[in-house]
Amino acid sequence: MSQPEFLNPKEVVQGILEVIHCPFCGSDYLEKYTRIKAQVNRDYVVHLMCPECQNSILANFSYQGGRGISKNKLGIQKTDIPFNEMMNFISKGAISDDDVIDLYKEMNSFDGDFRSKFKNKI
């Protein structure tokens, strides 16, 4: 599965940069560290990395065209997921119902021994 490509419409990105600042250090974000990860109609999920402190956030918001970002639909989540790692997860696709059931079964039978569980991966 190839990595999805999301465009960074300049108008939307500029609206984001005017409103959102790093919650860790207060610095302004830069366009080159701003990536739109998803869009449904006028709702967006955006990954921003601070050029000063290197911390990341995920922000979700509703963009209202010339009226800017709807402040009542602005949500910010601090994250420690680097951009390349996030793209790795996105490229794997959605988690299915079967994936959740399999994890549930594994967790029910898990005895707490991580070494034996991951012996081929460590």
- For 33, the token pair is 């560290």
Looking at the predicted structure, is the pLDDT value of residue 66 above 60? no
Looking at the predicted structure, is the pLDDT value of residue 73 above 90? no
Q: Which of 36, 40, 91 is nearest to 59 (CA)?
A: 36
Instruction: Return the beta strands (E) in the chain as ranges.
Output: 34-40, 43-49, 56-63, 69-79
Q: What is the pLDDT of residues 33-59, one digit of tens each?
A: 998 888 877 778 888 999 999 888 888
Q: In 3-state terms, what secondary structure has residue 28?
A: strand
Looking at the predicted structure, is the pLDDT value of residue 92 above 80? no
Stated pTM of the model: 0.57
The whole-number pLDDT of residue 52 equals 95
Half-sphere exposure of 85 (CA within 13 A, CB side): 6
Average pLDDT of the segment spanning 77-88: 69
